Chains A and B, each alone.
Chain A
Amino acid sequence: MSAPTQQTTLDRLESEAIHIFREVAGEFDRPVILFSGGKDSTLLVHLAIKAFWPAPVPFPLLHVDTGHNFDEVIEFRDEVVAQHGLRLEVAKVQDWIDDGRLQERPDGTRNPLQTVPLLDSITSHKYDAVFGGGRRDEERARAKERIFSLRNAFGQWEPRRQRPELWNLYNGRHRAGEHVRVFPLSNWTELDVWNYIEREGIELPSIYYSHQRDVYLRDGMWLTEGPWGGPRPEETVLHKTIRYRTVGDGSCTGAVESEASDIREVIAEVAASRLTERGATRADDRLSEAAMEDRKREGYF
């Protein structure tokens, strides 16, 4: 047994996230956690386990699978599910393409295509609360996001209709067909996430740490060959020491050159980085000044 000591920033962020998970469990009928195997959603699952221990997590997980995956991440995803006895639903973008509900984009990226399978899954499973790993420090439109973010029947985010969020009293009421996106990591920064991963000893997919990989440069980002296509004739493949700072659709997630092979080195690298996480690694956010806002309005994560 131990007496409480001064609460650190990480202690406070953890307590806040646990409080949010428990509010949702108390107020909603069918919550679900979006889980891709990436670091933020892995952190969500870790916090959910802590929030309800010694009872099991009272929510299933949902992965919207673009098919453009890193093998290491899918293996990791399945290990986490098995290890903690969780339930995982997978919505495959490929199924939506196969039956004509979605069309492949000319640029080959499937990241924006996740919105329709996500909304269809929310509707068919009648999910009323959807946990996401979004953080306000990621991007300017996300900085305006609520912890409980109401989405209309079309899954859309309407910035001007967001409810004021007062004290730590969250209002989860919604009408039939509407749902609420919930962001327990809202107040975490990228560095907080890594510091917490270290403190808690949380396992992550190996591609977050430095390794050797064949990569080619496109739009200023190091992409890797995969089912999403490979280098174009004019693009040269190089063998580099890299790691992934974010993990998303393989066609638009760039690697960063890095020697950081363990958690301490990653923390040192993130603390010293002069680039934001998304700016360094996400082509989809470079489309326009308001790319994220536009995708959120359409119902994206």
Chain B
Amino acid sequence: MSDLLRLATAGSVDDGKSTLVGRLLYDTKSVLADTLDAVHRASADRGLTTPDLSLLVDGLRSEREQGITIDVAYRYFATDKRSFVLADTPGHVQYTRNTVTGASTAQLAILLVDARKGVIEQTRRHAAVLALLGVPRLVLAVNKIDLVDFDETTFGRISKEFTAHATALGYSPDAVVHIPVSALAGDNVVEHSTNTPWYSGPTLLEHLEGVPVEADPHDAVFRFPVQYVIRPRTAEHPDYRGYAGLVASGTVKVGDEVVALPAGLRSTVAGIDTYDGPLTEAAAGQSVTLLLTDDLDISRGDLVAEAGTPPEVTDEFDATLCWLSEKPLSPGARVLVKHGARTVQAIVTELRARFDEQRLASVDSPTSLGLNEIGRVAIRTSEPLPLDGYYSSRRTGAFLVIDAADGGTLAAGLVGAGLPVLDGVDSCTEGGNTAPSASDDHALVSPGP
């Protein structure tokens, strides 16, 4: 079992995410005395009688003033079983881009709902974004269960409604767990609650400690973006030429046949170097230096891949963009695309469809894509890129869209991914297009690791 779990939180504003995270930190004794003293003092200053645990997380001045989370906060806690890196992502609607950020690296997401409100549009939208980004597992934390008198029927109704939604998004039943909690009082967060005798499942922490995690796609095909060419040219290493990078997916062994893309140069792995000595094999997540048998012209930005199953090399492709900038995207826009370690010029030649967050449906041929909108586009690049589909390789199927003028990040790009497809019977789609077009690539099948 992996000893590190990366997780993200998501949910609407006021659902109590920061309080839940504060509770997890507090109850796992990850909050030290001086930090807690500061929270007690700040809570008292605000006239509160019990400590406001959200103050553990909301670190910025304006966040504490407004009582909301503005920016993704990273938190670290550990139990005897695992270490956790938690991205606490804001639910305030204009900051939805942060959910995309937190979800991009998450192996599991905790989605909060308020038991009094149940599954609302924001919940559905967040779940769609988590599915789109390929977060493999979800926890639905039905929070504020104390405010509905720990009512089993309410919990059951919300669970059922969410299950239907998650299934429509492509999640299998065992990938989604529902837990009734009160972040404020601590019920079922770390300790089992006596107020919910009808609930026999794990507490939130028990689930996080035990959930199987596909840490890295070890079984996937080998992909290795070259970040840097190491050429010491010293007396000791006059002819050393190594290709430094992080294995993005799969494994590589000495003797493997590989191909360097986009040029298509084939060679054999002669060695796998690290400062601590050579390896016979390296796996996804490891930073290493590859030595090849042939002296090839390979530089930063190239991709070394398994020779038998290379990715497609193309300068025209379809992708889904999560637009993260206040500057809207129009067809014909000139941008930069950063894929792996390569940045190229690109044109967004066509906006094919937009996911309508209000109707949870898609609109064909929109004229623009605005902040927090998700759209399917066609892209042409100045140089060919070696691309995998996002769901077959989350690392080499992802790219950034960058503003060439000011360098800002405009969008998260997913090669080949479809728009969120939603259950046509959802009441929210009433009056709109009931479902996106039926083509296969719209369907979100089994979110990959």
Contacts and interface: CB of A to CB of B under 8 A. Distances in A.
A144 B102 CA distance: 12
A164 B325 CA distance: 10
B97 A22 contact: no
A54 B240 CA distance: 8
Contacts of A171: 338, 400, 402, 407, 409
A264 interface: no
B71 A144 contact: yes
Contact of B4 (A9, A54, A294): A9
Contacts of B280: 1-3
A141 interface: yes
Contact of A167 (B230, B233, B394): B394
A87 to B, nearest CB: 16
Nearest to B226: A26
B407 A175 contact: yes
A26 B412 contact: no
Interface string A256-297: 000000000000000001111001100000000110011000
B281 interface: yes
Contact of A19 (B4, B97, B215, B246): B246
B395 A167 contact: yes
Given A11-B286, A12-B4, A166 B279 contact: no
Most buried by A among B232, B240, B340: B232
A7 B274 CA distance: 15
Assign chain A's interface to a size class: 35 or more
Interface stretch (B73-81, B167-175, B376-384, B423-431): B73-81
Contacts, number: 187
Contact of B100 (A7, A16, A164, A173): A164
17 contacts: A4-B281, A7-B285, A23-B341, A26-B227, A49-B275, A53-B230, A55-B231, A55-B240, A136-B74, A141-B60, A143-B59, A166-B104, A167-B398, A168-B395, A191-B78, A279-B34, A279-B38
Given A136-B76, A276-B35, 11 more contacts: A7-B283, A55-B233, A56-B232, A140-B59, A143-B75, A159-B60, A166-B104, A167-B398, A168-B395, A173-B336, A279-B38
Interface of B: 2-4, 32-35, 38, 42, 56-61, 64, 70-76, 78, 83, 85, 97-98, 100-101, 104-105, 215, 227-228, 230-234, 236-237, 240, 244-246, 251, 274-283, 285-287, 300, 324, 336, 338-341, 394-395, 398-400, 402, 406-409, 412
Give the top 4 A-B pairs by smallest Cβ distance, nearest first.
A140-B59, A173-B407, A279-B34, A18-B287
Interface of A: 1-4, 6-9, 11-12, 14-16, 18-19, 22-23, 25-26, 49-56, 136-137, 139-144, 150, 159-160, 162-169, 171, 173-175, 186-187, 189, 191, 273-276, 279-280, 289-290, 293-294
